Copies of this chain bind each other. A is one copy, B any other.
């Protein structure tokens, strides 16, 4: 796996159960996955030589993130390195303009959008859909970075004047956000987890509710079918997460990710097969596992670095374990910085009121040392 963040760290846990050994390409020896895996190479994912050395002897190479340059991916593929997902699929998770063009071609419901090179492009689009609009860097954005909501031409001047390739999207009046996560194998088998609701704060996912509360069955199936169709049409292998805007009337595709995704972390504790195991089964072309949820209501809450109240992290962990013995904690081996995702907690139960309260309380102990 290229990249050694928390996704690689949790994939390594899943690899162990499958009798596998995950090789990791880490930027730094203290990256989260590098701290816990046996077979770690240090090198940068933009260094073609480092990628070549890393790939030598790997049965298959897969990814913790989308940041390997597409040209490197094509070079490696041409040299016979087995990359999954492959460069042709992965491009649609790397390049928002390519993704929007492709999904438009598939008639997938999506926000209205346009490529933007000049202020004239932007103003013409906004005149059509109305301000505010959402500017997005076509490449490299994540967790709210590379996204600008602009209410007027004046507010957009700096972004549009930069050399970053951009697209613009209408600002959809959404009720909530959903995610449909599926996995696809080279054989063509696809499996879907229950559709989840993702609760965002400041552009960062803070909570995932599984299955999405009060989502009618036909809408859930529709979202799963959209994700299955995208995975199949784009030739994805491994996990595909489709982030959706739920406007109350329809579901519009927001983003794609082709790797284990934050909206699927609940599956480690809440589903028969976790997204990390499923990603490995998919890229290794094993039959996929059951995606049944283990409880009527599951809540995953991200733990963000916060105000610690002067309390050491280890002491906060003690308090959290004492306060919530049912919370499943997953720590990423990262130092604490404000707003940084340092772990997550998952709680299973019968009702969303209950699991949200317990998960939020556990996450607060770890973030802020507060009840």
The residue that A19 contacts in the complex, of B272, B289, B294, B331, with Cβ under 8 A, is B331
User: Smallest CB–CB gap between A12 and chain B, Å?
Assistant: 7
The residue that A272 contacts in the complex, of B40, B281, B328, B330, with Cβ under 8 A, is B328
If A16-B12, A331-B19, A348-B272 touch, does A325 touch B36 (CB 8 Å cutoff)?
no
If A9-B16, A329-B18, A348-B272 touch, does A286 touch B317 (CB 8 Å cutoff)?
yes
If A34-B38, A38-B38 touch, does A322 touch B16 (CB 8 Å cutoff)?
no
If A40-B38, A286-B321, A325-B290 touch, does A17 touch B13 (CB 8 Å cutoff)?
yes
Residues of A145-202 contacting chain B, CB below 8 A: none
A211 interfacial by beta-carbon distance below 8 Å = no
Residue ID in chain B nearest A326 by CB atoms: B290
Residues of A289-303 contacting chain B, CB below 8 A: 289-290, 292, 294-295
User: Smallest CB–CB gap between A247 and chain B, Å?
Assistant: 35
Residue ID in chain B nearest A330 by CB atoms: B17
Report B-chain residues with C-beta under 8 Å of the C-beta of A234. none
Query: How far is it, in angstroms, between the C-alpha of A201 and the C-alpha of B34 when the chains are bound?
Result: 41
Binding site for B on A (CB under 8 A): 9-10, 12-13, 15-19, 21, 34-38, 40, 272-273, 281, 286-290, 292, 294-295, 317-318, 321-322, 325-326, 328-333, 343, 348
